[in-house]
Amino acid sequence: IWDDTPNVDRTSSNISTMIVKMIDGVDPEQVTSHALTDTAVNWAYQKYDTYNVRLGSMLIKNELTTPTKPKTIEMTIDETDTAIIRGVTIPYHTDMVYGNIYWTSASGASGVASSSILQKSNVSALITNTALGLDINDSIKSIKVDLGPIPAQYDGVRPQRDLLDTWNPNNKFISDGEYYGWSYIPNGVYGSWKVGTNADVKTTVKFYTTGTIPTAGDTYHLTGKSKAPEVKNGVGTINKTQILGGNSFTVSGRIDDANWDWNPLQEPEIYVIMPEGFTYSNLQVTEGTLSAPTYVGEFEKDGDKIKVWKYSIDIGQETRGQYQPNFTSKNMTVKFDVHADKTVKVATYHINDFLGITTKDFDAIGAVIKPEKWDRSNWNTDKYTTVFGTAVNSGKTMVSLSESTGVKVNQAAEVNAHSSLIDKDTGAELIYDNTSATTKENTTVVLGKGDTTTMRIKLRNNSGQPINYANVFIPLLNENLDFGPSFMPEGATQLPLKLESVEATPNFEVKYIKLRPGKTYALNHAPQPSDYDIVTDPADANMVMLVARTTVSDGDGGRIEVTYKAENNLSMSYNNKVDVITPVLDYDINGNRATLTLEPAAMTYHGSSIKVTKEWKNYDGTGLTAPVSEVEVELYRDGTFVEKKKITAANHWKVSFDNIDILNPATGANYQYTVKEVGVDSSNKIQIDNAWYSAIVTGDVDQGFTVTNKKSLNVTPLVPSTITKTITKEWVNLTQAEIDTLSTIIALYKNGNKVQEVTVDKNNHFTATFSNLPVTDTITSTANVYTVKELDGDGNAVEEGNSITIDSRDFIVHYDGTKIVNTYVPKPVLVDPPVKKIVEGNPTNASTFQFEMKAINPTDPMPNGSVNGVKLATVIGSGEVEFGTFEITQAGTYQYVIREIDNGIANYTYDTTLYTITFDVRDVAGQLVADTHVEKADGTVANEAIFTNIYKTPVATPKTSDNSHLPIYIGAIIIALVGFGFAFIKRIRSNKQS
Q: What is the DSSP string of 731-753?
A: EES--HHHHTT--EEEEEEETTE
For residue 839, the domain's CATH number is: 2.60.40.3050
Q: Is 221 exposed, middle or buried (0-12, 13-18, 19+ CB in 10 A)?
A: middle
What is the rounded radius of gyration, in angstroms, for the C-alpha atoms of the chain? Answer: 42
This model's pTM is above 0.85: no
- Dist CA 522 CA 182 (whole Å): 74
Looking up residue 438, the CATH number of its domain turns out to be: 2.60.40.740
Give per-residue burial for 409-440: e unless 16+ CB within 10 Å, then b.
bebeeebbbbbbbbebeebebbebbeeeeeeb
pLDDT value of residue 593: 87
Q: Is residue 855 located within the same domain as residue 812?
A: no
* Residues 443 and 486 both lie in one domain: yes
**How many CB atoms are closer than 10 A to CB 56?**
30
- The secondary structure element, H or E, covering residue 386 is helix 382-388
351 is in which domain, residue-wise?
A: 231-410
CA distances from 46 to 41, 191, 365, 657, 786 (A): 12, 16, 6, 43, 40
Distance CA(607)–CA(604), nearest Å, equals 10
Residues 6+ apart with CB under 8 A from 994: none
Of 284, 440, 407, 414, which Cα lies nearest the Cα of 339? 407
Inside any domain, residue 990? no
CA angle, residues 901, 906, 908, in degrees to nearest 5: 65
Residue 80 lies in a domain: yes
> Rounded to a whole number, what is the distance in angstroms from the first to the last CA of the chain?
63
Would residue 209 count as lying in a domain?
yes
Q: Divide the 994 residues of the chain into consecutive groups of 10 and give the mean pLDDT of each group.
A: 56 68 85 89 92 91 94 97 97 96 97 96 96 96 97 90 62 65 92 95 97 95 93 95 96 80 82 96 95 94 93 87 76 95 95 97 94 89 96 97 96 90 87 93 88 93 90 90 94 93 93 94 94 94 93 90 88 84 91 89 84 90 89 92 91 86 80 91 87 91 89 66 90 89 93 92 92 81 90 92 90 92 90 91 88 93 92 91 90 93 89 93 86 91 91 69 54 59 53 46
Q: Answer yes or no: do 751 and 688 share one domain.
A: no
The rounded distance, in Å, linking the Cα atoms of 207 and 682 is 93
User: Is 394 in the same domain as 517?
Assistant: no
Say which DSSP state 440 is in: H
| H or E element in which residue 13 lies | none
Say yes or no: 427 and 404 in one domain: no
Helix (H, G, I), strand (E, B) or coil at 95: coil
User: What CATH number does residue 392 fall under?
Assistant: 2.60.40
- What CATH code is carried by the domain that includes residue 773? 2.60.40.1140
Domain termination site, one of 410, 427, 443: 410
Q: Which of 658, 686, 711 is the last residue of a domain?
A: 711
Please tell me whether residue 97 adopts helix, strand or coil conformation. Answer: coil
389 to each of 38, 179, 649, how far by Cα in Å? 35, 33, 33
Residue 259, domain member (yes or no): yes
Residue 38 lies in a domain: yes
- HEC string for 209-226: ECCCCCCHHHEEEEEEEE
Residue 107 falls within a domain, yes or no? yes
Amino acid at 284: Q
What is the per-residue pLDDT for 195? 95
Could you tell me if residue 482 is inside a domain?
yes
CB-count exposure of residue 40 (10 Å: 0-12, 13-18, 19+): buried
Under a CB-based contact definition with an 8 Å cutoff, are residues 191 and 38 in contact?
Answer: no
820 and 918 fall within a common domain = no
CA distances from 901 to 558, 742, 875, 947 (A): 59, 51, 12, 11
Count of domains for the chain: 6
Strand boundaries in 582-629, DSSP class E: 584-589, 592-597, 601-605, 610-617
Mark whether 96 and 121 lie in a shared domain. yes
d(CA 712, CA 691): 8
- Classified as helix, coil or strand, 578 is strand
Which residue, 775, 799, 824, sits at the end of a domain? 824
- Same-domain check for residues 693 and 616: yes
Please indicate, yes or no, whether residues 343 and 356 belong to a single structural domain of this protein. Answer: yes
The answer to whether residues 658 and 572 belong to one domain is no
Centroid of chain to Cα 389: 13
Residues 537 and 678 in one domain: no
Say if residue 505 is in the same domain as residue 580.
Answer: yes
In a domain, 961, yes or no: no
User: Can you say whether the dihedral through the CA atoms of 917, 923, 925, 927 is positive or negative?
Assistant: positive
Task: From 571, 559, 433, select the one nearest 496 (Cα to Cα).
Answer: 571
How far apart are the C-alpha atoms of 160 and 124, rounded to whole Å? 13
Residue 76: φ, ψ to 5°: -105, 110
Q: Which helix (H) or strand (E) holds 947?
A: strand 945-951
- Taking the C-alpha atoms of residue 256 and residue 288, their distance in angstroms, rounded to an integer, is 13
Number of helical (H) and strand (E) elements in the chain, helices listed first? 4, 70
